[in-house]
Amino acid sequence: MSIESVTAIVKEKVGTDCGLGGSIKFHCGSEGVVVVDATVVPNVVTNDDVPAQCTVKIKISDLEDMLGGKLDPMAAFSLGKLQLEGDLGVAMKLGNLMRR
């Protein structure tokens, strides 16, 4: 899966207002980044590598599994499939976003 296709799925899940109330960056290594800025309405989803309140470092395949409901964000964290940096309060809302 490409960063563009993952970005399209994230945009669909986020919609106009996902209720995250913060910004989060999915850093997928050399594949690129997906940034959700939910501090503004409508929410903005881009591939610009800009600062975010919380950064999730994750393989693109694991992000795809999370978006598809095959991998729970808390399980991914427990298994070491994702690493978090920054505001953990924003990260705690990630499950709600993935279930949309």
**Domain with 8 in it: what CATH number?**
3.30.1050.10
The helix-helix angle for 60-67 and 3-14 (nearest 10°) equals 30
Tens digit of pLDDT at every position of the chain (100 positions): 899 999 999 999 999 999 999 999 999 999 999 999 999 999 999 999 999 999 999 999 999 999 999 999 889 999 999 999 999 999 888 888 887 7
Size of the chain, expressed as the number of residues it contains: 100
Classified as helix, coil or strand, 57 is: strand
* Residue 100 domain-assigned (yes or no): no
pLDDT for 28: 98
Domain that holds residue 21: 3-94
pTM: 0.94
Angle of CA points 27, 82, 76, to nearest 5° = 140
For 82, the enclosing helix (H) or strand (E) is strand 82-86
* Residue 99 domain-assigned (yes or no): no
Range list of β-strands (E), 38-81: 44-46, 54-58
pLDDT for 85: 97
* Residue 33 domain-assigned (yes or no): yes
Report the amino acid identity of residue 63: L
Structural domains of the chain, count:
1
* Residue 82 domain-assigned (yes or no): yes
pLDDT for 95: 82
* Residue 73 domain-assigned (yes or no): yes
pLDDT for 33: 98
* Residue 85 domain-assigned (yes or no): yes
* Residue 37 domain-assigned (yes or no): yes
pLDDT for 15: 94
